[in-house]
């Protein structure tokens, strides 16, 4: 048994955590640690993550060898290996063996999108796609679409689960609002040529408006929830 809040683990029959009082959740087989090679104690979930990390590391090494050893600069394995491995881990952890809270899903997706875009931009620094460089596609299209997708998924989750946590919600909203505001400023000053593209401009404006509406409604819902608890 383990506590989902503080991480305390016990083999006893307690129903609540002796430290924080949270109800225990039975440990899943995928998280049960086993002895490998006679000295390594690791769970199957951790073992999968370790293998995936080594795959990404191997892709980085191959990239370095091809670039500096054979001068192959048009082909890079790192960003696509990262995309494939992280997509598999998200599917593995989130859909097949569910053991995550919405906050963790959000942080994982945020780290994934920024790291993937960084590796993509660094790997293909001089590459263009349909007449635009990867900085344009990253900040003009991919990030604002990501923000809108997160808002859509969050709205669906809120409607289905009917749960609203003030602090967690504002944590999401503030981060997304900062991202969309930054992209909105990029559009106004025409950084990376975003303003020159109608599609990129519109998607950034929509993303900013959605963030603005969401954070205003977040304030209203939080006020109503706090007020109802005080009555």
- The pLDDT tens digits for 80-98 are 888 898 888 877 776 665 5
Sequence-distant (≥ 6) Cβ neighbours of residue 100 within 8 angstroms = 93, 94, 108
Half-sphere exposure of 122 (CA within 13 A, CB side): 13
In whole angstroms, how far apart are CA 189 and each of 32, 133, 148, 184, 198? 53, 17, 22, 9, 15
Output DSSP code: residue 73: -
Q: How confident is the model at residue 189 (pLDDT cuts 50, 70, 90)?
A: very high
- The burial of 228, by beta-carbon neighbours within 10 Å (0-12 exposed, 13-18 middle, 19 or more buried), is given as exposed
Q: Are 158 and 164 in contact (CB under 8 A)?
A: yes
Q: How confident is the model at residue 231 (pLDDT cuts 50, 70, 90)?
A: low
Q: Is 2 helix (H, G, I), strand (E, B) or coil?
A: strand
Q: Is 16 helix (H, G, I), strand (E, B) or coil?
A: strand
pTM above 0.85, yes or no: no
Q: What is the pLDDT of residues 39-77, one digit of tens each?
A: 778 888 788 888 888 989 999 999 888 888 888 878 888
- Residue environment code for 185-211, b if the CB has 16+ CB neighbours within 10 A, otherwise e: ebbeeebbbbbebeebbebbbebbebb
Q: What is the pLDDT of residues 129-177, one digit of tens each?
A: 888 999 999 999 999 999 999 988 888 877 777 666 667 777 888 899 9
């Amino acid at each position: 048994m383990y506590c989902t809040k503080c991480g305390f683990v016990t083999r006893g029959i307690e129903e609540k955590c002796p430290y924080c009082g949270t109800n225990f959740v039975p440990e899943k087989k995928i998280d049960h640690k086993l002895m490998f090679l006679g000295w390594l104690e690791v769970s199957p979930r951790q073992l999968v993550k370790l293998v995936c990390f080594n795959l990404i590391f191997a892709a980085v090494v191959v990239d370095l060898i091809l670039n500096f050893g054979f001068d192959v600069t048009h082909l890079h394995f790192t960003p696509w290996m990262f995309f494939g491995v992280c997509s598999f881990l998200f599917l593995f952890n989130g859909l097949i063996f569910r053991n995550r809270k919405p906050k963790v899903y959000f942080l994982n997706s945020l780290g994934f999108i920024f790291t993937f875009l960084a590796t993509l931009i660094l790997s293909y620094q001089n590459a263009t796609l349909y007449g635009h460089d990867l900085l344009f596609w990253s900040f003009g299209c991919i990030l604002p679409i990501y923000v809108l997708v997160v808002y859509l998924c969050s709205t669906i989750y809120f409607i289905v689960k009917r749960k609203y946590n003030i602090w967690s919600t504002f944590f999401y909203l503030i981060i997304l609002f900062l991202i969309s505001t930054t992209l909105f400023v990029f559009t106004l000053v025409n950084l990376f040529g975003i303003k020159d593209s109608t599609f990129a401009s519109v998607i950034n404006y929509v993303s900013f408006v959605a963030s603005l509406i969401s954070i205003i409604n977040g304030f209203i819902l939080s006020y109503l929830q706090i007020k109802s608890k005080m009555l």
